[in-house]
Amino acid sequence: MRRCEDCRIILEKDARFCPKCGKELNEDNKAEDVSRQIAALLALSNLHRSRREWDAAIAEATRALELDSSNPEAAYLLGSIHEQRGDIEEAEMWYRTALDLGSDDPVIRSKLNRITNYSTVSAIRLLPRRQISLLGAAALFLVVLTALITSWAVRSNQPRTEHKIKAGSASRKTQIRTPATQPTTPLTPPTSTGVTPTTPFTAQPAAPLSSRTAGESALKARLAETSTLGGTGAVVDDVIADPRNGSAIITFSLLYSPTSGLTRMKVLEYAWRIARTACTANREVRNVVVRCIITPAGPETTQIAFIGEIKRNSLENLGENPSPAQLDSAFENKWWNPQIS
């Protein structure tokens, strides 16, 4: 959202002069708007990637790269998405592009070195069939040779005691092998005796790893406890932090049915209250992306009702009781589900 530096009124995106005071607009504002759009697109792309929505993640990152073709962060994000998706060749290309655009991040170099190991496998696949057969025969020979050496070593280490017994003119040779050592306590008691271990071993499932940081969980708890959502039916479902640009991506859900009377202004009010609480709870949050989720006919029909972003300074300018028109102007990059009117 652009504002005139003198009279602070909201301006159109392509305006060159202020309609109120006539001042020529600073080109730096346009550059700042582009930077904000790129940051928002990358945040959305990361969100889609975390949900394994590959096509949407690639589309958002590509749009960011179209706005700034020299942005190494967008190229790196595309490489990461393709690697998670399994497109190793595409991932390698985008990692190299990120490095060529000036990024000297050791993480990117490490990922590039790891995925280039696939080139060895690709080279073997391109060998002629006869060479592949020779390689297979050589590998089989090595396996058989290793098995024979191991078998010989095991037999040579087995202890043996031989006794010769003579009876008259007849003699016979009796070989006695040392019996194998048996455990004093059987690992599994025989089922026929009906005896069960006094303390049976039960495999415990591993504790699931949390996919959210302590800061994200704390912010979600603060939002759930705030009185601004009490009685509204809004439930905060998830909080994702993006420390690169100080963004918090917050997802909340609302009860909805075709007859519930849920309007866009009501959704904007909930989104404003949530964004305001997030900025109050954490001073590092400078930008809030809010997602509203509805389930018209049960969990299987979950849909996005609204998504938009709002800056901290816009929240501060709105005051305590903003009008519907002010809320609509404060949120940027809005998208609405056609069901919400």
Q: Give pLDDT, residue 231.
A: 59
Mean pLDDT, residues 283-291: 93
Give the type of residue at 250: I
Question: Does 198 map to a domain?
Answer: no
Please give the residue that has the higher pLDDT: either 165 or 322: 322
Same domain, 112 and 224: no
Q: Give pLDDT, residue 222.
A: 86
Question: Does 176 map to a domain?
Answer: no
Same domain, 218 and 328: yes
In whole angstroms, give the CA distance from residue 72 to residue 74.
Answer: 5
Element spanning 151, H or E: helix 129-156
Domain count, the chain: 2
The pTM of this model reads 0.40
Q: Give pLDDT, residue 134.
A: 72
Same domain, 112 and 226: no
Name which of 48-57, 58-67, 127-136, 194-203 the model is least confident about: 194-203
**Where does the pLDDT of residue 130 fall: very low under 50, low under 70, confident under 90, or very high at 90 and above?**
low
Contacts of the segment 91-95: beta carbons below 8 A, 24+ positions apart: 91/115, 92/116
Report the share of the chain in percent with pLDDT over 90. Answer: 28
CATH of the domain at 27: 1.25.40.10
Q: Give pLDDT, residue 35.
A: 86
Report the share of the chain in percent with pLDDT over 70. Answer: 71
State how far the alpha carbon of 299 is from the alpha carbons of 100, 294, 305, in Å: 45, 9, 14
Q: Give pLDDT, residue 112.
A: 85
In sequence order, which residues have a C-beta less than 8 Å from that of residue 294 and are 6 or more positions away?
253, 254, 255, 256, 262, 302, 303, 305, 337, 339, 340
Half-sphere exposure of 71 (CA within 13 A, CB side): 21
Give the type of residue at 171: S
Give per-residue pLDDT as tens, 276-285.
999 998 988 9
Q: Give pLDDT, residue 192.
A: 45
Residue 270 structural domain: 214-336
Is the pLDDT score of 142 beyond 50? yes
In sequence order, which residues have a C-beta less than 8 Å from that of residue 15 and are 6 or more positions away?
2, 25
Q: Give pLDDT, residue 157.
A: 63
Please give the residue that has the higher pLDDT: either 191 or 129: 129
Which residue among 116, 142, 170 closes a domain?
Answer: 116
Question: Does 240 map to a domain?
Answer: yes
Which residue among 116, 148, 178 closes a domain?
Answer: 116
Q: Give pLDDT, residue 165.
A: 38
Q: Give pLDDT, residue 189.
A: 46
Name which of 64-68, 122-126, 185-189, 331-335 the model is least confident about: 185-189
Mean pLDDT, residues 295-314: 88
Please give the residue that has the higher pLDDT: either 144 or 191: 144
Q: Is the distance from CB of 247 to CB of 43 less than 8 angstroms?
A: yes
CATH of the domain at 243: 3.10.310
Question: Does 189 map to a domain?
Answer: no
Name which of 135-144, 232-241, 248-257 the model is least confident about: 135-144
Is the pLDDT score of 54 beyond 90? yes
Is the pLDDT score of 76 beyond 60? yes
Question: Does 121 map to a domain?
Answer: no
Question: Does 296 map to a domain?
Answer: yes
Which residue among 101, 116, 131 closes a domain?
Answer: 116
| Summary mean pLDDT of the chain | 77
Under DSSP, is residue 168 helix (H, G, I), strand (E, B) or coil?
coil
Give per-residue pLDDT as tens, 238-265.
999 998 988 999 999 988 877 777 899 9
Question: Does 243 map to a domain?
Answer: yes
Half-sphere exposure of 333 (CA within 13 A, CB side): 21
Is the pLDDT score of 332 beyond 90? yes
Question: Does 148 map to a domain?
Answer: no
Give per-residue pLDDT as tens, 158-209.
655 444 434 444 444 444 354 444 444 444 444 444 444 444 545 455 545 5
